[in-house]
């Protein structure tokens, strides 16, 4: 049992005995004592002054005296204004350390019996993945891993947008300008090849618009009547009518794209348990519209279109089916909701989608609740902000997107240059060095994108992300490699750090501080799951690495004469390394054993 869970009932008892007041355990909370004050935990007295009927300092002193007298856990206390700082005796921290050190399930909470589906990535098959997709994929994968660590059964899903006018644009351009080009003949990945023709379509379409304007059409009419666009619209109609020639080209180009995506996902280090395809789901939802009309949730307008009125929920009226019976996005999203629930019977369904879709998901979730879906309260939109670069926003149709493959390779190349400059690959074979560059480059990229609260828009700075100092992935990775080196040396000289510290009874302040930080790991995992925020784990790992480096600077390990203290310090290093490795895994980041 954690120390907090042991101390809080004592505080509850103290309130009853000193102040004759019943306080529920749920409303009592401890926080870590700030570094500048003496203590392990702090209890804030201010909310209870009406109960104590005393000044804040006097209230804190009364409760502190009670806790020291009635608990072996609390060795001392001090009061700063209304903050009661409690010092936990050293033996308790040593016990906590032993418990954590021997725990085979470090960072894994027991099963909670709940199932959660996390949907992320959701690419379009007319272009390769870009910088924004990197934030999406890293977020989705990490949140899924964090939820697993919290005891959920997790399904990772990817809904691929493989149909529609944008796909047809790439296909039309390929028919006109492709000359039978293939990924193998061009040397391009399949997704890059499709993206090339999406950009060509846009350039040629703009030329046609200019020509039509010169011929006397207004800009609006020119945009609508450009032959390439009309051809793409006709192609979409033929695709929906299952025209064999069009469907054959669509399948071929998508096949190329999927091969390209697979290579990108492998490099990213993300995976999926289930793929859904919009070509299979775009007709879903029409039966739900009928159900909604029968239930009185939806209504028809004079033009035969179907709507939902969400004004009571603070929104407005929303179209759910056009008058001609064709779907809108919300129609198929309603159908896909039911499809996913029928497939997996989830308790929660998390959509990792950019914040430009906030309104859409607000509408969708309110509709599913109005329809009385059993999973209605479990739907959640993990909304995240855009990623900017110093050069500004990205536009895929103009070919100005920061390509995910290029950026990942650039990060790996930068890691190579930086690592060589610092001389951190002495004694490495070529293969080992290559593996290290990849681990560092991808670690730098993932950590930088995940350390920021998902809701915030962010500026990605490649140069800053790869630094070995500061709040970066490589700093944490380097800390792990340093500990791995210590453990190798301990093994070489025969230090028994598995149990060679059984009689330890005293800690240095910096050792205690490191144990206190390590003891917060599961609490941080819970918090990260509640907030759907890998940033919580990233910040925690940075704190662990900082605390360890402070310990390493202040406490000698191999020059320590007392063999029991030496064994303990190696064991404390080992627990730190395990915590870093476990936490970085939740972020999808590998840690090296040598640098």
Residue 332 DSSP SS3: helix
Buried b / exposed e over 533-553, threshold 16 CB at 10 Å, is bbbbbbbbbbebbbbbeebbe
pLDDT at 1: 63
> Average of pLDDT values for 76-81?
96
> Average of pLDDT values for 30-49?
92
pLDDT at 397: 47
Q: What is the mean pLDDT of the chain?
A: 94
- Distance, in Å, from the CA atom of 460 to the CA atom of 463, rounded to the nearest integer, reads 9
Q: At residue 342, does pLDDT exceed 70?
A: yes
pLDDT at 2: 76
Q: At residue 158, does pLDDT exceed 60?
A: yes
> Average of pLDDT values for 418-434?
87
Q: At residue 122, does pLDDT exceed 90?
A: yes
- In Å, what is the CA distance from 552 to each residue of 35, 510, 519, 595? 18, 9, 18, 17
Note the pLDDT tens digit of each residue in 241-257: 999 999 999 999 999 99
Whether the CB-CB separation of 154 and 144 falls below 8 Å is answered with yes
pLDDT at 560: 94
Q: At residue 140, does pLDDT exceed 90?
A: yes
> Average of pLDDT values for 531-555?
98
> Average of pLDDT values for 205-215?
96
* Whole-structure pTM value: 0.92
> Average of pLDDT values for 170-198?
96
* Higher per-residue pLDDT: 131 or 270: 270
Handedness of CA 242, 245, 246, 251 (dihedral sign): positive
Note the pLDDT tens digit of each residue in 525-538: 999 999 999 999 99
Per cent of the chain over pLDDT 90 is 88
pLDDT at 421: 86
Mean pLDDT is lowest, of 49-53, 204-208, 221-225, 395-399, for: 395-399
Note the pLDDT tens digit of each residue in 455-505: 999 988 888 888 888 999 999 999 999 999 999 999 999 999 998 888 898
């Amino acid at each position: 049992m954690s120390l907090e869970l042991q101390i809080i009932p004592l505080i509850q008892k103290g309130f009853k005995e000193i102040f004759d007041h019943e306080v529920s355990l749920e409303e009592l909370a401890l926080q870590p004592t700030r570094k500048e004050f003496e203590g392990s935990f702090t209890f804030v007295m201010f909310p209870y002054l009406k109960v104590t009927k005393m000044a804040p300092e006097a209230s804190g002193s009364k409760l502190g005296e009670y806790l020291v007298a009635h608990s072996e856990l609390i060795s001392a206390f001090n009061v700063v204004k209304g903050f009661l700082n409690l010092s936990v005796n050293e033996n308790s921290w040593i016990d906590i350390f032993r418990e954590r050190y021997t725990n085979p399930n470090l960072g894994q909470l027991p099963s909670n019996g709940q199932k959660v589906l996390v949907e992320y990535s959701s690419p379009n098959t007319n272009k390769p993945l870009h910088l924004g997709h990197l934030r999406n994929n890293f977020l989705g994968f990490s949140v899924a891993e964090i939820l697993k660590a919290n005891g959920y059964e997790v399904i990772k899903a990817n809904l691929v947008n493989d149909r529609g006018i944008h796909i047809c644009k790439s296909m039309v351009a390929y028919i006109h300008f492709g000359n039978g080009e293939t990924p193998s003949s061009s040397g391009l990945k399949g997704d890059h090849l499709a993206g090339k023709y999406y950009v060509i379509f846009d350039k040629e379409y703009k030329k046609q618009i200019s020509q039509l304007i010169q011929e006397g059409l207004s800009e609006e009419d020119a945009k609508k009547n450009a032959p390439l666009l009309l051809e793409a619209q006709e192609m979409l109609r033929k695709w929906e009518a299952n025209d064999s020639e069009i469907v054959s080209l669509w399948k071929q180009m998508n096949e190329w794209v999927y091969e390209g995506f697979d290579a990108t996902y492998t490099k990213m280090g993300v995976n999926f348990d289930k793929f859904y395809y919009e070509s299979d789901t775009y007709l879903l939802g029409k039966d739900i519209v009928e159900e909604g009309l029968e239930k009185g949730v939806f209504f028809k307008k004079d033009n035969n279109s179907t709507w939902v009125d969400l004004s009571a929920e603070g929104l407005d009226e929303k179209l759910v089916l056009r008058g001609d019976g064709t779907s809108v996005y919300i129609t198929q999203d309603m159908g896909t909701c039911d499809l996913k629930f029928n497939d997996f019977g989830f308790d929660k369904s998390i959509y990792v989608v950019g914040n430009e879709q906030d309104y859409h998901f607000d509408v969708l979730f309110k509709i599913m609740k109005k329809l009385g879906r059993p999973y209605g309260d479990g739907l959640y939109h993990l909304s995240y902000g855009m990623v900017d670069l110093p050069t500004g926003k990205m536009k895929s149709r103009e070919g100005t997107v920061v390509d995910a493959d290029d950026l990942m390779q650039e990060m790996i190349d930068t890691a190579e240059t930086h690592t060589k400059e610092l001389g951190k690959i002495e004694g490495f074979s070529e293969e080992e060095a290559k593996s290290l560059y990849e681990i560092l480059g991808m670690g730098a990229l993932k950590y930088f994108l995940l350390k920021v609260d998902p809701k915030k828009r962010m500026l990605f700075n490649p140069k800053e992300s790869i630094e070995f100092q500061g709040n970066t992935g490589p700093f944490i990775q380097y800390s792990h490699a340093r500990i791995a080196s210590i453990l190798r040396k301990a093994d070489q000289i025969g230090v028994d750090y598995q149990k060679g510290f059984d009689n330890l009874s005293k800690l240095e302040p910096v050792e205690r501080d490191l144990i206190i930080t390590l003891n917060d790991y599961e609490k941080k995992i819970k918090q990260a799951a509640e907030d759907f925020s890998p940033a919580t784990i990233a910040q925690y790992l940075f704190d662990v690495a900082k605390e360890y480096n402070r310990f390493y600077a202040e406490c000698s390990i191999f020059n320590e004469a007392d063999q029991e203290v030496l064994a303990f310090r190696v064991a404390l290093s080992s627990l730190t390394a395990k915590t870093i490795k476990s936490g970085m895994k939740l972020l999808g980041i590998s840690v090296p054993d040598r640098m």
